[in-house]
Structure 1
Amino acid sequence: MPLRDLLLGLSIVAIWAFNIIVIKLGVEELPPLLLTTLRFMLVAVLLVPFHPVARHHLPFLLLLSATFGTLHFALLFIGLGQAEAGTGALLVQMGTPFATLLAVLFLGERLSLKRMAGLVLSFGGVVVLAGGPSLPSALPMTLLLLSAFGWAVSQLLIKKGPNIPPLALAGWTALLAVPQVAIGSWWFESGQVSAMASAGWFGWGAVFYTAVMSSIVAYGMWYGLLRRHPVSRLAPLSLMVPMGAVILGIVLLGENLNTHVLFGGVMVIAGVGLIVIRFRALFGR
């Protein structure tokens, strides 16, 4: 990989890792469902007018907005409000093992010995993380794992669904998710107007960063790399995101690197690596 593309890939990793920290700080000033709603509104405003879609794609996009917009993002924001950033980033990586199992069950994909070992390792890592002090109760772990499951379902839908350009997909999914998460905020949260009035740099910065930097800028650069390099070459970069989030959580938020996070995190990342990395393709064999 040329140095320019490698630096671009590392920049994407840094943006996504810092995104976890930004969400964690943002939900301290804005209720998580309200923050999710505002994020989707900004993404939709910036993308939908410039990326139209065919009318017959709307039912598919509505379904995707429920799994990717509401199930994945809303539960991610809620879960990160109750868990340490590093632990949350590691648990969200379970989307890959979930997607692998769903592909085996519903798409008839074969489960090789290497991928099976990856599943065992990653789920074992979740068990280790669950026993640590960074999860105050079972609720945040459940929410983050459901968020990962929502991501996995969404990836299968995208794989089998119509060929919609990535930015159009992001914009219209966000637009259709707005009423879903807004109703959730209205129903489960309170004090939204006062929260927006009193929110500072962390709250409004989270709205901007999660919408613009993480969703539009980073994914735009990532799809550019995908056009120039095979997935097998880029997969190791994506595994650096949770590692970066753990480090940033320690440095910026004062989180502790306890043995559960260390060993559970290594198991999750190693397991996901076994699933997604094609080592022969990676080394040109």
Structure 2
Amino acid sequence: MTVCNTPLVPLALWRTMQLILLTCLSMLAFAGNSILCRLALVQQHIDPASFTAIRIASGALVLYALARLSLLRAAAATPTQQPAPRQQSGSWAGAIALALYATAFSLAYLKVESGVGALILFGSVQLSMLLYGTLKGERLGALSSVGLSVSVIGLVFLLLPGSSTPPLGAAALMAIAGAAWGWYSILGRDATYPLATTAGNFARAIPLSLLAILPWLAVLHWDLAGVGYAILSGAVTSGLGYAVWYGVMKRLSVMKAATVQLSVPIITAMLGAILLGEALTLQLVLSCIAVLGGIALVLAGKGRNSRQANPMNIVQENHD
């Protein structure tokens, strides 16, 4: 009998390629959320509260269906295995963070351009996650520290007077959304079953998003386009995108997970220029170069990363 052993290096390379691909998909999904939110709200196709509620509800439905399908496939393959533990099907902490992020995000995008809004959002994400990582003992090496500094300089350069500076209130809401998303991302590091966990978080966030509608009852409105944007955001760029991100989070240190998200404003700004006709200035281009270059240095540098997992658990969750 001949045993074929897979070489270690190709397997490691394959998993690294998986990680890169899934990370890129996550970042594209995050940028897509920014664009869909702006398409829905700026043209007043729907109000922010209704957009958020429909977004979360549609995400919950799609994720529930996929989680059930995953469970049925796993049960058919191994009839004796047990379902995922209850605590792996989301948490109220995750739901609160998700609802707070989604609500503040939608309200802020009424007054903030997509590119600048994403810069504030993920700048806040980075600060909250870097603080958490530091408190947990994670450290960036010299090269990574330089990369982080370059990325931050790129953000500051874009937000200097002369760029599209947003109103203070809208900027504050976007910063709150960023902190909430940082919290949500950190919670994902303990998600053994990313799909089930994300589905549970979305389901629990439904009543919270409905409560957020109450102050806006007098101004609720929507049309078919607005509902369509909200469903697309919830089912695809939020639901599926967040499940993929929870799987990616298990492979990255908090520091690197925070820094890689700085690519989202760049993607968002480019999509905003292409799809929404927003300005693509030299200032934005130079900022893009600085931010992406800084991220590359962070990822190339050495740092403490004690978390490793197979990213394919995102797609097929084995409930042992």
TM range (shorter): 0.7 to 0.9
2:210 corresponds to which letter in structure 1?
Answer: A
| Aligned match of 2:101 | 72
| Aligned match of 2:208 | 180
2:230 & 2:273 partners in 1: Cα distance? 23
* Residue 98 in structure 1 maps to residue 128 in structure 2: yes
**SS state at 1:140 partner:** helix
1:190 & 1:273 partners in 2: Cα distance? 48
Q: Following TM superposition, by how much is the alpha carbon of 1:149 offset from its aligned partner in structure 2, in angstroms?
A: 1.6
Which TM-score applies when normalising by structure 2? 0.68
Kept after mapping to 2: 8 A contact 1:10/1:237: no
Offset from partner CA, 1:238-280 (integer Å, 9 cap, x none): 66543332122112212113455344444444444444x1357
1:171 corresponds to which letter in structure 2?
Answer: A
| Aligned match of 1:112 | 141
| Aligned match of 1:168 | 196
| Aligned match of 2:173 | 143
Q: Following TM superposition, by how much is the alpha carbon of 1:165 offset from its aligned partner in structure 2, in angstroms?
A: 1.3
2:139 & 2:21 partners in 1: Cα distance? 35
Q: Are residues 268 and 185 of structure 1, via their aligned partners in 2, closer, same or farther at CA, if it must alter by over 3 Å? A: farther
Q: Are residues 218 and 90 of structure 1, via their aligned partners in 2, closer, same or farther at CA, if it must alter by over 3 Å? A: same
2:36 corresponds to which letter in structure 1?
Answer: V
Q: Following TM superposition, by how much is the alpha carbon of 1:103 offset from its aligned partner in structure 2, in angstroms?
A: 1.1
Instruction: Provide structure 2 residue ranges, at least 5 long, that are not aligned to the other structure.
Output: 1-12, 72-82, 304-320
Offset from partner CA, 1:217-243 (integer Å, 9 cap, x none): 44566778899xx769x9898665433
| Aligned match of 1:152 | 182
* Residue 37 in structure 1 maps to residue 53 in structure 2: yes
* Residue 82 in structure 1 maps to residue 111 in structure 2: yes
1:273 & 1:82 partners in 2: Cα distance? 31
Kept after mapping to 2: 8 A contact 1:115/1:274: yes
2:242 & 2:205 partners in 1: Cα distance? 19
Q: Are residues 132 and 152 of structure 1, via their aligned partners in 2, closer, same or farther at CA, if it must alter by over 3 Å? A: farther
| Aligned match of 1:20 | 34
The CA RMSD over aligned residues, in Å, is: 3.7
Kept after mapping to 2: 8 A contact 1:82/1:135: no
2:208 corresponds to which letter in structure 1?
Answer: Q
2:131 & 2:296 partners in 1: Cα distance? 15
Q: Are residues 127 and 41 of structure 1, via their aligned partners in 2, closer, same or farther at CA, if it must alter by over 3 Å? A: same
Kept after mapping to 2: 8 A contact 1:16/1:218: yes
Identity %: 24
Q: Paired residue for 1:210, among 227, 233, 258? A: 233
Kept after mapping to 1: 8 A contact 2:143/2:301: no
- Say which structure is richer in helix: 1
Decide which structure has the larger Cα Rg and report it. 2
| Aligned match of 2:224 | 200
1:23 corresponds to which letter in structure 2?
Answer: C
Kept after mapping to 1: 8 A contact 2:188/2:246: no
Instruction: Provide structure 1 residue ranges, at least 5 long, that are not aligned to the other structure.
Output: none
Q: Following TM superposition, by how much is the alpha carbon of 1:44 offset from its aligned partner in structure 2, in angstroms?
A: 1.6
2:108 corresponds to which letter in structure 1?
Answer: G
Kept after mapping to 2: 8 A contact 1:132/1:261: no
Offset from partner CA, 1:85-139 (integer Å, 9 cap, x none): 122223333223431222102x122243334334433444443333344233122
Q: Following TM superposition, by how much is the alpha carbon of 1:61 offset from its aligned partner in structure 2, in angstroms?
A: 0.8
Kept after mapping to 1: 8 A contact 2:262/2:291: no
* Residue 254 in structure 1 maps to residue 270 in structure 2: no
